[in-house]
Amino acid sequence: MAYRPRTAGSRAARERSRSNGRAKRAPPAAVAPATAAESVPPPTHVGHYLIGKTLGQGTFGKVKLGTHILTGENVAVKVLEKARIKEIADVTRVTREIKIFKKLEHPFLCRLYEVCNTKHHILLISEFASDGELFGYIVKHGKLREAVAARLFAQLIEGIDYLHDIGVVHRDLKPENILLMDKAAPDGGMAVKVIDFGLSNTFVQGSTLTTACGSPAYASPEMILRVAGGYNPRKSDLWSLGVVLFAMVAGCLPFEHDNTAALYDQILNARYRCPSHLSPACKDLISRILVIDPRRRFGAEEPRTSCSSDRPSAAATPSPCSTA
Give the active site residues: 172
Binding-site members for ATP are 78
Which amino acid makes up residue 139?
V
Comparing CA positions, the residue from 45, 47, 21, 19 lying closest to residue 31 is: 19
Binding-site members are 78
> Length of the chain, please?
324
Comparing CA positions, the residue from 50, 275, 75, 114 lying closest to residue 193 is: 75
Whether residue 218 contacts residue 265, with contact meaning beta carbons closer than 8 Å, is answered with: no
Query: What is the DSSP-derived secondary structure letter of residue 313?
Result: T
Please, is 236 exposed, middle or buried when counting C-beta atoms within 10 Å of its C-beta (0-12, 13-18, 19+)?
buried
Please, is 235 exposed, middle or buried when counting C-beta atoms within 10 Å of its C-beta (0-12, 13-18, 19+)?
buried
Q: What are the beta bridge partners of residue 169?
A: 201
User: Which residues lie below 8 Å from residue 197, measured CB to CB, with a gap of 6+?
Assistant: 97, 100, 101, 104, 168, 170
With residue 53 as reference, give the H or E element that holds it: strand 49-57
Please, is 322 exposed, middle or buried when counting C-beta atoms within 10 Å of its C-beta (0-12, 13-18, 19+)?
exposed
Which segments of 58-177 are extended strands (E)? 61-68, 74-81, 112-117, 121-127, 168-169
